[in-house]
Structure formats: C-alpha cells, structure tokens
Amino acid sequence: MRWMMSCREASRLTTEASYRTLAPLERGLLVFHRSMCRDCRRFAAQMALLDRSMTMWRAGGRDENMRP
C-alpha cells in the first residue's frame, strides 16, 4: 500500500470501516488522506449519517435532531 491512497481506496476503507475494524496502518493512512481531501471527508460524513439512520430505523425510533 502506498503512503498516499487514492480517493477510491479511501472510500472503500470508509465503507469497510462500518463492517470491520481497520488495521492500524489502514486507519492511519485513511486519517491522513481525509486530512487533505475535502471530498473524502464529506463522503465519510455521509456514510456516518447513513449508519446512524439505519441504526435508528432498525430500532424503530426517531431522532428529532437528525436532519433529512
């Protein structure tokens, strides 16, 4: 793995982080990439929103603070 990953690799790891624990090197490279890439930070925020939404949906609850 290179020291600077592509956005494609970063988005793959961002998605995989929802299902598994990333290795320390993967996590470090992802943090480094996101620190320099606004688009990947936005993608990570969107994925976090989807994860929270699905958790709420499965629980049958509603969060008044969650924006559409």
Sketch the domain layout of the chain as residue ranges: 7-59
Q: Which ranges of the chain have pLDDT less than 50?
A: none
pLDDT digits (tens, 9 = 90+) for 37-54: 999 999 999 999 998 988
d(CA 23, CA 50): 23
55 and 66 Cβ atoms separated by less than 8 Å:
no
What does the CA dihedral 54, 20, 16, 26 come to, rounded to 10 degrees?
140
Q: DSSP code of 24?
A: H
The pTM assigned to this predicted structure is: 0.77
22 and 33 Cβ atoms separated by less than 8 Å:
no
